[in-house]
Each structure stands twice: as structure tokens, then as C-alpha cells.
Amino acid sequence: MQKVLETLIYLQDIDTQLQRLEAERGDLPQKVKELADEVEEMRNRLAQKIEAKNSLIAEKSSLDNDVILLDEQLKKYKVQLYQVKTNKEYDAITLEIETSEKNKEDKEFRSLELEESIGKISEEIKELEEQLQSQQALLEANKKELDEKLEKTHEQQQQLEEKRKGAAQKLSRQILSTYDRIRKARGGVAVARLIGGACSECSSRIPPQHGLEIRMMNSLNYCEVCGRIVVWTPDSSEE
């Protein structure tokens, strides 16, 4: 019976390692996905900013073009001004000049405002591009780590499963099925230890008489509270 109990302890150790591997692997794809989503979101933001910048540039270039046309128009008016023959004509052209100058000033002012906005958005784009670059590098590194870890845990898992198979063969079908049933019902842990007079998993006190039986290691003993198999190992005795 002592051999059986030792096999159960060994089996539990393997199952705990297998559970840990699964948990470890479970988190990584999620992390990579989150990073990929962030990169995607940054790319979209960057594309929007570039689009906004382009439309500001187009607006500015159209205004600058208007200013050139108004300048030409103003030159023509000024030539005409020297050729007028009546006061009425003079007043009409003077009014045209004033209106065009005002119009030109407005457009120049707006063009300056746009130039400022373009400068600002260019800075934002540059900053975002830098962020995106480092985020992408992070994503690549994480992807690589994930691939390596998946490969590594896969190997470890195969090795552990081999060991598990070997250990399981040493147990009777009945004891193995009891072990598996408790393990599934109790969060992956079927074997508890007697430590300081208590069950190591649920911390319930174990009556001294029952504790003595457990220490003898010649029968299957169960925790009366959590139902796990309780064993005693010298290294766990006085903790």
C-alpha cells in the first residue's frame, strides 16, 4: 500500500505540473491578441490623422492659390485706376480694390492658421508613428516568445504525459478512477498532505487518531471535510 500511496503522490505532482503548463499557455495567446488589437487601433488612428493632414494641406493650397489670383486682380485694378476718366469710375475701382484686399487678408490669415494646424498634426503623426513602431516591435517579440513557449510547453507536456501513463499503469483501475474523480471535483488536487495535524489543501484539523493512521501509510485515508486522499511524507511532517 505504501507503494500505491507513493505513486499517487507522484501522479499528483505530474498532474499539478500539467495544470500549470495549461494555465501558462492559456494566458499567452490572449496577451498577443491584446497587443495586436492595440497596434491595429494605432494604425487606424494614424491613418485618420494623415487623412486630416492631407485635407488641411489641400485647403491651404487652394487658399494660397486664391491669394495669388487676388494679387493679380489687384495689380490690374491699380493699372485701371490711372486710366479712369470719371470720379464715379474711380470710386468703383477703389471699392473693388478695398474688397479684394480685405478678401486677400482674410485668406492669408486663414492660411496661416492652417499652417499652424498642419505643423501640429505633423508632430502628432510623428509621435504616433514612433509609438506604433515600438508597439509593433513589442508585438513581434511577444509573438516570438509565444511560439517558443508553445513549442517548449508542448514538449514538456508530452514528457509529462508519458510519465503519467507509466505511473497510472502501476495503480489499480479502482484507485486510479477514485483519484481522477477527486481531482476533477477538487480543482485538480486529489492528494493532500498531513501537515501540522491538518489537511494541507483545506486546512481542516485531522483528529489525532486518524492522523496516526495516515502516518502509518498503509491504507487510503480521506480528509473528512474536502474528501481528498491524505498522505504523510517525512518532508511535510513538521512544517
Number of residues that bind Zn ion (CB under 5 A): 6
Q: State the nearest-atom distance from the C-beta of 188 to Zn ion, in Å.
A: 14
- Cβ proximity to Zn ion, 97 vs 225, nearer residue: 225
Binding mask 193-232 for Zn ion (x = CB under 5 A): ------x--x-x------------------x-xx------
Q: State the nearest-atom distance from the C-beta of 203 to Zn ion, in Å.
A: 7
CA of 110: how far to CAs of 19, 52, 61, 135, 226, in Å?
Answer: 66, 17, 11, 37, 78
- Cβ proximity to Zn ion, 94 vs 204, nearer residue: 204
Binding mask 116-155 for Zn ion (x = CB under 5 A): ----------------------------------------
Q: State the nearest-atom distance from the C-beta of 142 to Zn ion, in Å.
A: 40
Which residues of this protein are in contact with Zn ion, per CB under 5 A? 199, 202, 204, 223, 225-226
